[in-house]
Structure 1
Amino acid sequence: MPKGVTKRRPRTRAALLAAALETFAQYGFHAATIEQICERAGFTRGAFYSNFSSKDELFLALFDQHSERILERITDRIASTPGGDLTLPGLVEILAEIEPAERDWYLVTTEFTLHAIRDPQAGWVLAQHDARLRAALARGLTEQLERAGRTLTVDAEELARLLIAIREGGLAQSYVEPTALPPGQLERRFLAPLLAAFSTPGPTLS
């Protein structure tokens, strides 16, 4: 492959991903067309199919990108904790942060999840991506709780499932009733006692 094409490929892929997120959020995953995505990104169908085989594969690339960005943001926020002194309330505040742009992602991922529930093959593939995110969250949660002086007493991946359920369920209610329940409010109110209940005081990581 020529060097110019090789260098352009990551930029083309990034533009298609950004256009897909906007298009899916505007029209819905099923209603959005590959042509609309390509038009928004400024590329041809050929450019699309040189990067993705289908809308499903495009969504899963968006899923992985979003997961990596969220985990990276959490890691960066923890790393910037003054003096490295992470507390349980401080960890909860980081986990409770919801960016304004999260609403678009919530619309897209909710519709794809419904698609995956109806389509066993799509469900199986989504479950693999979910599992990788959950495992990364479980590892990070275990490590950061230990930094905060706590040791988990429950399975970390099951706890990760619960935290994801709280986040997704809370966002569903927040986007319907934003005044009554601002995004992140449930986490700020209940995560600290929940994490304390499922952990015990333990040695702090140096």
Structure 2
Amino acid sequence: MPKDVSRRRPHTRAAVLKAALEVFAEHGFHAASIEQICERAGFTRGAYYSNFASKEALFLALFDEHSERIVRRLAESIDALPAEEHTPAGIARLASRVEPEERDWYLVSTEFTLHAIRDPQAAWVLARHDARLRAEIARGIELVLHRAGRELTVDADRFARMIVALREGGLAQSYVEPSALPPGTLERDFLAPLLESCTRPTGGTGQPPPQADQPPA
């Protein structure tokens, strides 16, 4: 592959991903066409297909990009949380933050989830992407709880599923009735008591636990 093509590829891929998120959010995953995405990105179909084999592959790339951003923000928020905020209420406030751009991703991911419910192969693939993100969420929850001197009394993956359900269910209602239920309200109101009921004091020092070996990429 020529060097100039190799250098351009990350830029092309990033531009297509950005355009795809916008077009998917505006028109829907199924209604959006490759032509609309290429036009928005300013590239040809050839440039598109040199990076993505299908719209489904494009969505999964968006999913991974969004997951990486969520995990990075979670890690940064946990590190920045003051010691006095290492409480269930403080953790709930951290978890209740919703960025303005989250609405577009919610529209796109919800429609693809419905597609996956109807399509077993898409469901199989999406479940594995979900599992990787959920593992990072569970790891973050366990870390911040350790700093709070608490530990889960339930399975970490199950608890992460509950957090995701609370988040996604809350956003569905908030985007329909933003004045009655601003985004993040349910997490702020109910996550602290949920943490209280599903955790116990460890009697530890609150220092971070030793880092486990990272799973292979």
Matches within 5 A, 1:94-173: 94-173=94-173
Question: Residues of 2 paired with 1:90 and 1:7: CA distance?
Answer: 44
With structure 2 as the length reference, what TM-score do the two structures score?
0.92
Does the 8 Å contact 1:86/1:147 carry over to 2?
Answer: yes
2:71 maps to a residue whose letter is: L
SS at match of 1:151: strand
Match of 2:65 in 1: 65
SS at match of 2:151: strand
Does the 8 Å contact 1:22/1:104 carry over to 2?
Answer: yes
Question: Residues of 1 paired with 2:85 and 2:197: CA distance?
Answer: 21
Question: Residues of 2 paired with 1:120 and 1:159: CA distance?
Answer: 25
Aligned length: 206
Question: Residues of 2 paired with 1:86 and 1:201: CA distance?
Answer: 12
Does the 8 Å contact 2:116/2:122 carry over to 1?
Answer: yes
Question: Residues of 2 paired with 1:109 and 1:99: CA distance?
Answer: 16
Q: How far did 1:184 drift? A: 0.3
Q: How far did 1:94 drift? A: 1.3
Match of 1:3 in 2: 3
Q: How far did 1:171 drift? A: 0.4
Question: Residues of 2 paired with 1:205 and 1:19: CA distance?
Answer: 43
SS at match of 1:99: coil
TM-align CA RMSD: 1.3
Question: Residues of 1 paired with 2:132 and 2:178: CA distance?
Answer: 30
Match of 1:80 in 2: 80
With structure 1 as the length reference, what TM-score do the two structures score?
0.96
Q: How far did 1:143 drift? A: 1.3
> Which residues of structure 2 form unaligned runs of 5+?
209-217
> Which residues of structure 1 form unaligned runs of 5+?
none
Measured against aligned partners, the alpha-carbon deviations of 1:93-152 in whole angstroms (never above 9, x if no partner) come to 111100111111111011100100011111110011011111111111111111111111
Q: Which moved more, 1:85-94 or 1:59-68?
A: 85-94
Does the 8 Å contact 1:78/1:86 carry over to 2?
Answer: no
SS at match of 1:64: helix
Q: How far did 1:84 drift? A: 8.5
Does the 8 Å contact 2:152/2:199 carry over to 1?
Answer: yes
SS at match of 2:43: coil
Q: How far did 1:85 drift? A: 6.0
Question: Residues of 1 paired with 2:149 and 2:127: CA distance?
Answer: 32
Match of 2:212 in 1: none
